[in-house]
């Protein structure tokens, strides 16, 4: 055995010994306590991972073997950004957007420098722009690997993209949504959609935008949008969005439309009458409020506070058990934001169908009657179906569908917090404690053969649904709505028993519900 080979064998043995020595990792001094590294084992293997973890600990880095809330930097080798996100989704960690996702080349640079190096863009796992694409084309061993897509290839319709709730660009998208809402209040649909589409593109980006170059080549980045982005990059906030938030008209419209039953039209009417606050509306006895608006004011506080996932699950049990009392084989599905994985919502949306040959138009009436008897129904408005057989889908992407539906407010009793000392208080009066919360619930009844289309439409997001319908019209010469898909060239309705089949009819890759948060 020559000397070189002998030393290789020796160092391998030494390494194996180190790896199997359980106490080693505890004995190093932590020099850099402001970052906590986690190294992904996927595609790396346990042996290499253990070696790298020991190496970093020896150099004074804090390295965790489990992914926990204390981790700040995740290092991956041979995994694209999307693969890392996919893996993260299966882990029980909260908001994964707080992690820095880094290529192994960052880790190697830290080990070489003997200290943490900046997690600059070349080390970050993210979408690459065209200049990075060229870099990757000339990739050679030793250079950091780049994940595999290009900014200019980001598709223009949100239904062609997978958008999770992991939003790296909240400070931009929040400003866009304020701008869009203000244009909606001004009934300027074009500008409103411009900001909503831009928000949707930035929600899809797997990295935070830090310079104008990051948005180069992306779709939906018009001048108005770019101005807002540029100012946020430079100043940390958008003066235009701030101006909107301070605008008297916007503030009044925002308050008015926060009431259940009040849309932009009513808000406009009240504002023109010189009314500006909800207090003024409530005090004005000459105003004629609809039944829906009266309920909106009555339960205002409960309705403006978000519905939680736990509340949605509790209401789901009530809806399922009541519906199944009358129709045992009914299929009751929670849709809307909760189906997309959101943790809160402004209401809870349900789709109800059954495999039977025809619909039971009485079902919804029976359900609400029972809730009325049980004292659970605070408000309800049943809209009867207006669907006409064989009617062509609506071309208006924001049109209401024709299903029989019910907009309701349910009384959800809440578990009492047992506070013994409070209960023992002499002045404690049970009657004064409100032990329920008013919750907005939408129930939609669909014929079984339209269920997949209804599910796709009611799952949203609104932007995702809009783009699906625009895509069908402009790219496929088809018309899509919540009832059906019509092929204009073949002049036939395309049947679908699942959402997957609808995506296939449209020639789109399937997008899971939690990836529709466009
Ligand atoms: N929808 C629809 N037709 C309607 C109303 C809604 O197709 N007449 C779709 C669009 C999104 C989805 O149904 C659910 O609507 P919302 O409850 O308004 O949206 P959400 O995504 O559930 O948002 P939130 O969490 O605020 O309830
Ligand atoms: Mg909803």
Nearest Cα residue to 409 out of 433, 381, 389, 432: 381
Q: What was the pLDDT predicted at 507?
A: 97
Taking phi over 0 as left and psi of -120 to 50 as alpha, with beta for the rest, 507 belongs to left
Nearest Cα residue to 39 out of 57, 78, 65, 70: 65
How far is 85 from 31, CA to CA, in rounded Å?
29
HSE on the CB side for 229, CA within 13 Å? 24
Q: What was the pLDDT predicted at 111?
A: 94
How far is 443 from 334, CA to CA, in rounded Å?
9
Nearest Cα residue to 346 out of 433, 266, 280, 407: 407
Q: What was the pLDDT predicted at 427?
A: 54
Tell me the Cα Rg of the chain: 28
Q: What was the pLDDT predicted at 26?
A: 55
Tell me the pLDDT of the chain (518 aa) as tens digits.
444 343 333 344 334 433 433 334 457 899 999 999 999 998 898 988 999 999 999 999 999 999 988 999 999 998 888 888 888 888 877 777 788 999 999 999 999 999 999 887 778 887 644 333 333 333 344 433 334 447 888 999 999 999 999 999 999 999 999 999 999 999 999 999 999 999 999 999 988 999 998 999 999 999 999 999 999 999 999 999 999 999 999 999 999 999 999 999 999 999 999 999 999 999 999 999 999 999 999 999 999 999 999 999 999 999 999 999 999 999 999 999 999 999 999 999 999 999 977 777 899 999 999 999 999 999 999 999 999 988 999 888 888 899 999 999 999 999 776 655 444 445 555 567 899 999 999 999 999 999 999 999 999 999 999 999 999 999 999 999 999 999 999 999 999 999 999 999 999 999 999 999 99
Q: Give catalytic status of residue 349 as yes or no.
A: yes
Which H, E and C letters describe 196-259, residue by residue?
HHHHHHHHHCCCCCCCHHHHCCCCCCCHHHHHHHHHHHHHCCCHHHHHHHHCHHHHHHHHHHCC
Question: Cβ contacts of residue 406 below 8 Å, gap of 6+?
Answer: 364, 367, 368, 380, 381, 382, 383, 442, 443
Task: Name the pairing type of β-strands 331-334 and 348-353.
Answer: antiparallel
User: How far apart are the CA of 339 and the centre of ligand 2, in A?
Assistant: 9
How far is 474 from 477, CA to CA, in rounded Å?
6
Residue nearest to ligand 1 atom 21, measured at CA: 337
How far is 440 from 259, CA to CA, in rounded Å?
12
Q: Would you state the structure tokens that stand for residue 187, as one six-digit string?
A: 């009934």
Q: Which of 307, 344, 462 to mutate to test the pocket of ligand 1 (most atoms within 8 A of CB)?
A: 462
Q: Contact, 124 vs 103, CB < 8 A?
A: yes
Nearest Cα residue to 204 out of 255, 149, 266, 139: 149
Give the chain's end-to-end CA distance (angstroms, integer): 63
Q: What was the pLDDT predicted at 79?
A: 86
Q: For the purposes of burial, counting CB atoms within 10 Å of the CB of 33, is it exposed (0-12), middle (13-18) or buried (19 or more)?
A: exposed
User: How far apart are the CA of 58 and the centre of ligand 2, in A?
Assistant: 51
User: How far apart are the CA of 342 and the centre of ligand 2, in A?
Assistant: 10
The dotted CATH code for 307-419+428-515 is 3.30.460.10
Which DSSP symbol is given to 77?
A: S
Nearest Cα residue to 478 out of 488, 465, 470: 488
Q: What was the pLDDT predicted at 85?
A: 84
Kindly identify the ligand whose nearest atom is closest to the C-alpha of 344.
1
Q: Give catalytic status of residue 284 as yes or no.
A: no
Q: CA of 333: how far to CAs of 122, 308, 463, 499, in Å?
A: 44, 17, 21, 14
Name which CATH class applies to 248-298.
Answer: mainly alpha
Ligand 1 atom index nearest CA of 348: 27
Q: CA of 107: how far to CAs of 95, 99, 113, 143, 303, in Å?
A: 23, 15, 10, 13, 49
The residue from 349, 401, 467, 481 that is catalytic is 349
Residue nearest to ligand 1 atom 1, measured at CA: 458
> Residues lining ligand 1, judged by CB closer than 6 Å?
336-337, 342, 345-347, 349, 400-401, 457-458, 460-462, 465, 482
Nearest Cα residue to 455 out of 493, 496, 425: 496
User: What SS3 state is found at 290?
Assistant: coil
Q: Give catalytic status of residue 381 as yes or no.
A: no
Helices (H) and strands (E) in the chain, counts: 21, 14
How far is 196 from 227, CA to CA, in rounded Å?
15
Q: What was the pLDDT predicted at 430?
A: 56
Q: What was the pLDDT predicted at 233?
A: 96
Place of tokens 């949203």: 460
How far is 196 from 176, CA to CA, in rounded Å?
7
Question: Cβ contacts of residue 475 below 8 Å, gap of 6+?
Answer: 157
For the chain, what are the domain ranges?
14-128, 248-298, 307-419+428-515
The residue from 103, 129, 214, 347 that is catalytic is 347
> What residues sit around ligand 2, an ion, with C-beta below 5 angstroms?
336-337, 345, 347, 349
Q: What was the pLDDT predicted at 390?
A: 84
Q: Which CATH superfamily is domain 14-128 in?
A: BRCT domain (3.40.50.10190)
Residue nearest to ligand 1 atom 17, measured at CA: 336
Nearest Cα residue to 384 out of 354, 370, 364: 364
Q: CA of 306: how far to CAs of 301, 309, 438, in Å?
A: 10, 10, 11
């Amino acid at each position: 055995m020559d000397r070189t080979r002998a030393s290789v064998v020796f160092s391998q043995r030494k390494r194996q010994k180190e790896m199997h020595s359980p106490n080693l990792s505890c004995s190093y001094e932590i020099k850099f306590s402001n970052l906590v590294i986690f190294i992904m084992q996927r595609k790396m293997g346990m042996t290499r991972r253990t070696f790298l973890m020991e190496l970093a600990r020896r150099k004074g880095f804090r390295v965790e073997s489990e992914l926990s809330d204390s981790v700040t930097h995740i290092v991956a080798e041979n995994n694209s950004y999307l693969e890392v996100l996919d893996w993260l989704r299966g882990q029980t960690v909260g908001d994964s957007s707080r992690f820095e996702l880094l290529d192994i080349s960052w880790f190697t640079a830290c080990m070489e420098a003997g200290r943490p190096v900046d997690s600059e863009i070349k080390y970050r796992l993210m979408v690459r722009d065209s200049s990075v694409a060229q870099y990757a084309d000339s990739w050679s061993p030793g250079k950091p690997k780049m994940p595999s897509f290009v900014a200019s290839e980001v598709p223009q319709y949100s239904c062609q993209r997978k958008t999770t709730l992991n939003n790296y660009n909240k400070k931009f998208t929040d400003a866009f949504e304020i701008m869009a809402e203000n244009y909606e209040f001004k009934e300027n649909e074009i500008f409103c959609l411009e900001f909503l589409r831009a928000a949707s593109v930035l929600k899809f980006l797997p990295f935070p935008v830090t310079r104008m170059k990051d948005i180069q080549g992306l779709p939906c980045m018009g001048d108005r949008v770019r101005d807002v982005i540029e100012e946020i990059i430079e100043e940390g906030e958008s003066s235009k969005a701030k101006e909107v938030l301070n605008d008297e008209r916007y503030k009044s419209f925002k308050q008015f439309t926060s009431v259940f039953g009040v849309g932009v039209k009513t808000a406009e009417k009240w504002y023109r009458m010189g009314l500006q606050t909800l207090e003024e509306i409530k005090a004005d006895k000459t105003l004629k409020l609809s039944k829906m608006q009266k309920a909106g004011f009555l339960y205002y506080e409960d309705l403006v506070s978000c519905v939680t996932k736990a509340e949605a699950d509790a209401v789901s049990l009530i809806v399922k058990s009541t519906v199944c009392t009358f129709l045992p084989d009914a299929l009751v599905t929670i849709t809307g934001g909760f189906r997309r994985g959101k943790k809160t919502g402004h209401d809870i949306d349900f789709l109800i169908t059954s495999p039977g040959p025809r619909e039971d138009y009485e079902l919804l009436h029976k359900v609400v009657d029972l809730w009325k008897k049980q004292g659970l129904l605070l408000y309800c408005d049943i809209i009867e179906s207006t669907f006409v057989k064989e009617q062509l889908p609506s071309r208006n992407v924001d049109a209401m569908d024709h299903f029989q539906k019910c907009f309701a407010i349910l009384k959800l009793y809440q578990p009492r917090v047992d506070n013994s000392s409070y209960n023992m208080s002499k002045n404690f009066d049970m009657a004064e404690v409100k032990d329920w919360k008013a919750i907005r619930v939408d129930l939609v009844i669909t014929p079984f053969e339209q269920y997949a289309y209804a599910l796709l439409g009611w799952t949203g997001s609104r932007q995702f649904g809009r783009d699906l319908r625009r895509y069908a019209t402009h790219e496929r010469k088809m018309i899509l709505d919540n009832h059906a898909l019509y092929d204009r060239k073949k002049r036939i309705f395309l049947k679908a028993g699942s959402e997957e089949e609808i995506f296939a009819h449209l020639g789109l890759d399937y997008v899971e519900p939690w990836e529709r948060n466009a």
